[in-house]
C-alpha cells in the first residue's frame, strides 16, 4: 500500500503541467468561465481593458497604452492562473483515469447459450448474459458468480497482489470486469451493459466529470458572489464620488480596483480545492461518487458498521483445539487435520492453518486411499473413511454425539460443559471423533480483522461514535463488539433496523456514515450521508453507496474522514486568507488613488507606495501571483489535526487571517519598489 501511494503521488508530472497550461487557455471560453462567477467578472474586466488599450477613442478615454496594456496582461495572467489551478487538479484525476483505462482491453468471453459455449468479444455481452471463466482467463464484465468458487486476482483494480475468493451466493459473489481468475472455474451472470461497468464509472468519476458542488461549497459560492456584487456596486458608485472631489478615475483603474477587492484568490482556487479533495480520496483507493460525499465525511458524528465481512472476515475460522475426555491437544489436532485434508471450505482450510500455526504435526499417509465424506445438511458432518476401517468425523456436536453413540462409543463427561463454554463466548464448537471416541472440539469463531480495535480507538479520538450492526445473537454480538472495540452494537438486526438507527441519528442533527458489503446493507448505505461499500461486496451494495473502498478495508473510513475535514479546513483557511488579502489591498490602492486630491488620506497610505499607478499595478501583480503560489496548498490541503471548532477558528484567524493581512503589505511594497522605477 505504501508503494502504491508513492506511485500515486508521482502523478503530478511534467506532462500533466503542460496539459494544464493548455487547458487553462481553453477554459477562457466564457461558457466555461461563467461557472465561476468571480473569475468570470475578472475575464469581462480583462476584455474591457483590452478594448480600451486598442481602441481608446471608442470610450473617449485618455490614451495610456503602456499602462492599459500592462493592466490587461496582469488581468489575463490572473484568469489563466486560476484556470491553471483547476486544470492541474483535473489533470491528476485524468492521469488516474488513464491508468484505469489500461485495465480495459478487449477480451474474449465464453458465453453460455442453451448449454453450448460461444466465444464472442466482451463488448458484445449484455446484462443478463452468462459466461464461463476458466483459470488464467480475464473476467469479461461486471457480474455475479452463480456457480463455482475461484480465486480472483483484483490487483488491476485495487492494487493489492493477494487474490480474493469469489463464490456463488453470499456477500462475496460480485466480480469486476478486467480482473483475472487464477484458480478453478466460475460461471458469471453479467450485471452491466457495455459502457456501464464499474471500471467505466470509475474512469468517469476520477476524471471529475460528474463532480457535484456540495452544500458547503454552494454556500461559499453564494458568499463570494455576494461580496463580488457588493464591491461591483461600490466601484461603480465610486467613479461619480471621485469626480465630485476632483479625481477622474479611468475605467482600467476602476477595473483594477474591482479585481483587487473581490475575493479572486479563493474564487480562483475553489474548484481546485474540491477536485483535489476527491483526488486525495482516490489516493487511498477509495472511489468517491461526488464531492458532496467527501465533504460530508468531514462532519461525520456516527459510524454504522456491518459486522460480517466488514469488521470480521465473514468466515468462521478455527481458533483453538480443545481436548475433552482426557485426550491430548496433539490428538484432537491430528484427527481434525485428517478430517480436513480434502475439505475445501474456509473452515476446513482454517483447521490446517491453525495446525501449522501452533506447530502440531500429523501423518497425512493415514488418509491415503480413504474416502472423503462431504458435509451435508442432513448429517451436519464431514470426514473420511480410512482404508484401515477407521472412520473420522467432524461436525456439529449433537450430530457427532449421535454418530458416536451408533458406533457404541461413550461420551466424555466434560463434553457438554466445554461445548457450552465455547457457545457462550460467541463461538461455534465442532466435535472431532475417530472411531467411537470424541477427542475434542474445534473452536470456530468469526475473526475480527487485524488492527480494528486500534482504528476504532482513533475514530473515538476524532469524536466519532461507532455502532456495529449484526444478525448474530446478543451473546455473539457482544463478544465481537468487545474484541473490535466498538462503542455500541445492535444484535439480530435486519435491514430495517439499520435504516432506523441511521434515521434516528440523523433526526438528532448528526451526519452518519455506513460501511457494508452485502445486499442487505444496500438500503442503509443509500440512507447514510456517507455510504462506504466494500469492493468485495455485492453489486447492490456498491450501487447504493456514494463511496467504494477498492481495498475492502472498513477502517479506511478514518482516512476518508480526515480528508473530508482537511477539505473543509483548506477551504476555510484559504477563504480567510483571501478576505484578509482584500483588506490589505484596500489600503494599497484607495489611499494612492485619492492622495493627490485629498492630502489628508496620506494617513491611510501606510505602505508609502511610489505613485497611484505603481500602487495599482503592484496590487494587481500581487493579486495574480498569489494564486499560483497557493496552488500547492490547495492541492495538498491544510494539515489535519484533531481540534475543537473554537480552536480551529482561532488558528485560522491567527495563521491565515493575520498572515493574509501581512503578506500583501510585504508583497505589494516589494513589487512597488520595482514597478515604481519605470512607471
Reading the block at residue 542, the C-alpha cell is 456498491
- Give the count of beta carbons closer than 10 Å to the beta carbon of residue 642: 12
Residue pair 210/290 in contact by the 8 Å Cβ criterion: yes
Binding site annotation covers 382?
yes
Using CA atoms, how far apart are residues 33 and 31, in angstroms rounded to an integer?
Answer: 6
**How many helices (DSSP H) and strands (DSSP E) are in the chain?**
24, 20
Binding site annotation covers 521?
yes
CA distances from 128 to 123, 144, 530 (A): 14, 10, 30
Using CA atoms, how far apart are residues 131 and 112, in angstroms rounded to an integer?
Answer: 5
Burial zone of 82 (CB within 10 Å; 0-12 exposed, 13-18 middle, 19+ buried) = buried
Please calculate the CA angle 25-27-32 and round it to the nearest 5 degrees. 160
Binding site annotation covers 213?
no
Q: What is the DSSP string of 444-473?
A: EEEEEPTTHHHHHHHHHHTT-EEEEE-SS-
Using CA atoms, how far apart are residues 567 and 549, in angstroms rounded to an integer?
Answer: 19
Binding site annotation covers 517?
yes
Binding site annotation covers 479?
no
Binding site annotation covers 378?
yes
Using CA atoms, how far apart are residues 610 and 594, in angstroms rounded to an integer?
Answer: 14
Using CA atoms, how far apart are residues 261 and 242, in angstroms rounded to an integer?
Answer: 17
Using CA atoms, how far apart are residues 121 and 297, in angstroms rounded to an integer?
Answer: 41
CA distances from 213 to 58, 208, 210, 274, 292 (A): 41, 11, 10, 8, 7
Binding site annotation covers 151?
no
Going by C-alpha positions, the residue among 124, 130, 158 that lies closest to residue 144 is: 130
Give the distance from CA 35 to its chain's centroid.
26
Binding site annotation covers 377?
yes
CA distances from 617 to 76, 327, 516 (A): 13, 92, 57
Reading the block at residue 50, the C-alpha cell is 483590452
- Give the chain's radius of gyration (CA, Å): 34
Going by C-alpha positions, the residue among 16, 1, 29 that lies closest to residue 99 is: 16
- Give the count of beta carbons closer than 10 Å to the beta carbon of residue 183: 13
- Residue 446 a catalytic site member: no
Please calculate the CA angle 124-128-129 and round it to the nearest 5 degrees. 45
- Catalytic option among 23, 129, 142, 306: 306
The string over 1-22, giving b where at least 16 C-beta atoms fall within 10 Å of a residue's C-beta and e elsewhere, is: eeeeeeebeebbeeebeebbee
Binding site annotation covers 242?
no
Q: What is the DSSP string of 65-131?
A: HHHHHHHHHHHHHHHHHHHHHHHHHHHHHHHHHHHHHTT----EEEEEETTEEEEEEGGG--TT-EE
Reading the block at residue 507, the C-alpha cell is 433526526
Binding site annotation covers 376?
yes
Strand (E) positions, 498-646? 511-516, 530-534, 547-549
Binding site annotation covers 347?
yes
Reading the block at residue 72, the C-alpha cell is 490587461
Residue pair 197/141 in contact by the 8 Å Cβ criterion: yes
Q: Is the dihedral of CA 253, 259, 261, 265 positive or negative?
A: negative
Catalytic residue ranges: 306
The binding site for ATP consists of 343, 347, 375-382, 394
Per the annotation, binding residues for Mg(2+) are 517, 521
Point out the annotated binding site. 343, 347, 375-382, 394, 517, 521
Amino acid at each position: 500500500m505504501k508503494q502504491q501511494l508513492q506511485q500515486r503521488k508521482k502523478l503530478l508530472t511534467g506532462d500533466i503541467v503542460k496539459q494544464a497550461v493548455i487547458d487553462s487557455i481553453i477554459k477562457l471560453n466564457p461558457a466555461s468561465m461563467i461557472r465561476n462567477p468571480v473569475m468570470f467578472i475578472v475575464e469581462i474586466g480583462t476584455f474591457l481593458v483590452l478594448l480600451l488599450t486598442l481602441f481608446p477613442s471608442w470610450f473617449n478615454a485618455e490614451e495610456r497604452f503602456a499602462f492599459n496594456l500592462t493592466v490587461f496582461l496582469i488581468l489575463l495572467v490572473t484568469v489563466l492562473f486560476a484556470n491553471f489551478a483547476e486544470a492541474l487538479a483535473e489533470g491528476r484525476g485524468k492521469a488516474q483515469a488513464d491508468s484505469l483505462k489500461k485495465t480495459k482491453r478487449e477480451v474474449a468471453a465464453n458465453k453460455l447459450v442453451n448449454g453450448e459455449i460461444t466465444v464472442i468479444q466482451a463488448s458484445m455481452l449484455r446484462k443478463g448474459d452468462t459466461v464461463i471463466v476458466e483459470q488464467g482467463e480475464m473476467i469479461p464484465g461486471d457480474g455475479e458468480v452463480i456457480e463455482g468458487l475461484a480465486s480472483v486476482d483484483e490487483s488491476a483494480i485495487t492494487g493489492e497482489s493477494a487474490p480474493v475468493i469469489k463464490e456463488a451466493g453470499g456477500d462475496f459473489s460480485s466480480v469486476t470486469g478486467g480482473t483475472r481468475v487464477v484458480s478453478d472455474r466460475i460461471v458469471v451472470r453479467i450485471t452491466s451493459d457495455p459502457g456501464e461497468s464499474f471500471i467505466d464509472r470509475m474512469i468517469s468519476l476520477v476524471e471529475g466529470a460528474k463532480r457535484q458542488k456540495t452544500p458547503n461549497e454552494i454556500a461559499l459560492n453564494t458568499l463570494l458572489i455576494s461580496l463580488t456584487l457588493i464591491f461591483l456596486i461600490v466601484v461603480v458608485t465610486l467613479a461619480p464620488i471621485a469626480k465630485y472631489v476632483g479625481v477622474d478615475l479611468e475605467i482600467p483603474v476602476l477595473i483594477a480596483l474591482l479585481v483587487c477587492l473581490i475575493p479572486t484568490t479563493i474564487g480562483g482556487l475553489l474548484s481546485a480545492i474540491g477536485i483535489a479533495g476527491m483526488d486525495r480520496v482516490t489516493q487511498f483507493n477509495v472511489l468517491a461518487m461526488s464531492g458532496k460525499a467527501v465533504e460530508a465525511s468531514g462532519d461525520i458524528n456516527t459510524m454504522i458498521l456491518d459486522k460480517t465481512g466488514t469488521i470480521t472476515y465473514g468466515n468462521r475460522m478455527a481458533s483453538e483445539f480443545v481436548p475433552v475426555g482426557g485426550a491430548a491437544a496433539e490428538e484432537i489436532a491430528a484427527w481434525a487435520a485428517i478430517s480436513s485434508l480434502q475439505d475445501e471450505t474456509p473452515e476446513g482450510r482454517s483447521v490446517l492453518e491453525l495446525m501449522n500455526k501452533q506447530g502440531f504435526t500429523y501423518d497425512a499417509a493415514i488418509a491415503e486411499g480413504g474416502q472423503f465424506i462431504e458435509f451435508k445438511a442432513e448429517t451436519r458432518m464431514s470426514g473420511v473413511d480410512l482404508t484401515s476401517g477407521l472412520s473420522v468425523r467432524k461436525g456439529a456436536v449433537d450430530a457427532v454425539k449421535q454418530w458416536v453413540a451408533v458406533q457404541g462409543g461413550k461420551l466424555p463427561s466434560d463434553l457438554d460443559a466445554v461445548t457450552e463454554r465455547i457457545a457462550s463466548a460467541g463461538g461455534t464448537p465442532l466435535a472431532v471423533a475417530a472411531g467411537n471416541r470424541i477427542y475434542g472440539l474445534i473452536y470456530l469463531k468469526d475473526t475480527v480483522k487485524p488492527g480494528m480495535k486500534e482504528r476504532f480507538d482513533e475514530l473515538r479520538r476524532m469524536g466519532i461514535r461507532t455502532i456495529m450492526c449484526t444478525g448474530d445473537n446478543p451473546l455473539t454480538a457482544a463478544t465481537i463488539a468487545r474484541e473490535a472495540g466498538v462503542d455500541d452494537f445492535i444484535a439480530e438486526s435486519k435491514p430495517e433496523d439499520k435504516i432506523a438507527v441511521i434515521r434516528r441519528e440523523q433526526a438528532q442533527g448528526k451526519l452518519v456514515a455506513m460501511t457494508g458489503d452485502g445486499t442487505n446493507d444496500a438500503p442503509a448505505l443509500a440512507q447514510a450521508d456517507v455510504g462506504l461499500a466494500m469492493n468485495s461486496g455485492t453489486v447492490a451494495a456498491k450501487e447504493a453507496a456514494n463511496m467504494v473502498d477498492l481495498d475492502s478495508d472498513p477502517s479506511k473510513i478514518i482516512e476518508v474522514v480526515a480528508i473530508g475535514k482537511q477539505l473543509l479546513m483548506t477551504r476555510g483557511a484559504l477563504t480567510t486568507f483571501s478576505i484578509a488579502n482584500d483588506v490589505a489591498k484596500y489600503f494599497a490602492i484607495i489611499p494612492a488613488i485619492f492622495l493627490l486630491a485629498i492630502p489628508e488620506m496620506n494617513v491611510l497610505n501606510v505602505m508609502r507606495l511610489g505613485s497611484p499607478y505603481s500602487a495599482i499595478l503592484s496590487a494587481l501583480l500581487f493579486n495574480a501571483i498569489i494564486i499560483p503560489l497557493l496552488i500547492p496548498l490547495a492541492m495538498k490541503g491544510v494539515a489535519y489535526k484533531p481540534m475543537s471548532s473554537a480552536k480551529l477558528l482561532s488558528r485560522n484567524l491567527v495563521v491565515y487571517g493575520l498572515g493574509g493581512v501581512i503578506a500583501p503589505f510585504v508583497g505589494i511594497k516589494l513589487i512597488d519598489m520595482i514597478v515604481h522605477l519605470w512607471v
